[in-house]
Amino acid sequence: MAFVEEEAELPQLSPQQQHAMAMAMQRSAASMPDDDEYADFLKRVEDVGATIKGLKDGTVDVSQLDAKEAKAQKEEADRQARRDAKKREAEEKATASREAARKMAELKEANREKIEELKQDYYLRKAKRERWEAFRAENKSRGNTNDYYRGWDLFEDDPDEELFSGDSPAAVQDQAAFDAMAKDVEERTARRKADKAAGAKEKDAGNAAFKEGQHTEAIARYSCSLEHFKGDKAVYANRALAHIRVRNFLSAVEDCSRTIEISRFLDDDFARRPPPPPLLKAYVRRATAYAALQRYDEASRDLEAAAAMAPEQELAEVRRHQRELKAEVHAAASEERLAKQAAEIGRASCRERV
């Protein structure tokens, strides 16, 4: 950009005006660290060039230079203030980022054990869910569409899924988020404990009713217990015995089967030895119900399974049931033979009369 020819003569400036012009030139020569300042610098250069050209051709009044310089200084001060504010903002962001990183490191360290505990709890629930889904798929392939546990807390959407699932589990971003997550887990845990406590109270009432010989009342109490917590295999085993007492043998078979399924697919204690007491009882009681339904082969298989898992102190009782079943099978066979013989004699007698 051309400012003025070399041979041009400038009007005479006062010392103050000369000082103002020198200051403007110094500002134009200032460093330009970013695009905004570079644009300001170009504008100042253009202003100085326009001023010089105006002085040369008489379009700029020398007496107005002081006011123009004052305006230029104010504009420059405003621009500098904006640059300073922008710089402070960038520094504050950088400081905040460093502080957030520091707090995150402290958070992870302070809550390392708690987060690990939550993760382990989540993975245990996930393992139970997977075992149950595998069982349901197997059951469905066999044509059994029963779903005894629909609506369980255990199988609702897991709120920890986003936190811990996948290859890269999400991090808890701040203390507030961690506290919210921990509070949610505590509330759900408290609800589960309250449900289990209510279920245990109903179970105790069912046990008391059973001891008094009130088997129908016991069944009702056990059913209430399961409404609170459907995962208690002991309640199913107890209700099965009450069903046997009132000759509800099909219901007894169903409850015993649920006990076995919970042990195998949910509690994951099916292979434990000695076995959990409800599991052993379920096999023995289901055998009793099968025998009453004259399904002797199934009863025999259940007692064989019970004998295989029974501890020494329980084995004698299982053997007693096996002997009784054998005697019952023998008696049933004898009765069937006698019935056939009686039928044959009856038919022969009818033929003779004819």
The answer as to whether 354 is a domain residue is yes
User: Is residue 172's pLDDT more than 90?
Assistant: no
User: Is residue 56's pLDDT more than 90?
Assistant: no
Mean pLDDT calculated for residue range 297-302: 96
Q: Return the amino acid letter for 170.
A: A
The answer as to whether 123 is a domain residue is no
Domain count, the chain: 2
Q: Looking at residue 210, what is its pLDDT?
A: 97
69 vs 306 pLDDT, higher one: 306
Q: Looking at residue 168, what is its pLDDT?
A: 44
Q: Looking at residue 61, what is its pLDDT?
A: 64
Residue partners of 115: CB distance under 8 A and separation at least 6: 108, 172, 178
Share of residues in the chain with pLDDT > 90 (%): 34
In the block, tokens 């059994």 appear at: 144
Q: Looking at residue 82, what is its pLDDT?
A: 86
User: 85, 103, 121: which is the final residue of a domain?
Assistant: 103
Residue 149 confidence class, pLDDT cut points 50, 70, 90: very low
Concatenate the DSSP letters of all residues of 207-239 into one string: HHHHHTT-HHHHHHHHHHHHHH-TT-HHHHHHH
User: Is residue 18's pLDDT more than 60?
Assistant: yes
Question: Which of 2-11, 61-70, 323-332 is least confident?
Answer: 2-11
Top-confidence range, 80-94, 122-136, 237-251 = 237-251
Cα–Cα distance measured from residue 48 to residue 4, given in angstroms and rounded to the nearest whole number: 11
Q: Of 209, 215, 236, 240, which Cα lies nearest the Cα of 225?
A: 236
The answer as to whether 188 is a domain residue is no
User: 57, 78, 103: which is the final residue of a domain?
Assistant: 103
The C-alpha torsion from 135 through 138 and 141 to 144, rounded to 10°, is -40
Question: Which of 28-37, 71-80, 147-156 is least confident?
Answer: 147-156
Average pLDDT, the chain: 78
Concatenate the DSSP letters of all residues of 14-26 into one string: PHHHHHHHHHHHH
The answer as to whether 29 is a domain residue is yes
Q: Return the amino acid letter for 226.
A: L
The answer as to whether 184 is a domain residue is no
Helix runs in the chain, H state only: 15-28, 35-57, 65-110, 112-141, 161-164, 175-211, 215-228, 233-245, 249-261, 277-292, 296-309, 312-353
Q: Looking at residue 255, what is its pLDDT?
A: 95
Residue 342 confidence class, pLDDT cut points 50, 70, 90: confident
Distances (CA, A) of 173 to 160, 176, 248: 14, 8, 56
pTM (predicted TM-score):
0.57
The answer as to whether 89 is a domain residue is yes
What is the domain range of residue 67? 15-103
Question: Which of 106-115, 210-219, 245-254 is least confident?
Answer: 106-115
Q: Are 219 and 238 in contact (CB under 8 A)?
A: no
User: 69, 87, 103: which is the final residue of a domain?
Assistant: 103
Cα–Cα distance measured from residue 159 to residue 156, given in angstroms and rounded to the nearest whole number: 9
The answer as to whether 244 is a domain residue is no
Q: Are 207 and 182 in contact (CB under 8 A)?
A: no
Q: Report whether the peptide linkage leading into residue 275 is cis, meaning its omega lies within 30 degrees of zero.
A: no
The answer as to whether 245 is a domain residue is no
Q: Looking at residue 29, what is its pLDDT?
A: 54
Q: Are 272 and 306 in contact (CB under 8 A)?
A: no
User: Is residue 138's pLDDT more than 80?
Assistant: no
125 vs 336 pLDDT, higher one: 336
171 vs 237 pLDDT, higher one: 237
Q: Looking at residue 267, what is its pLDDT?
A: 82
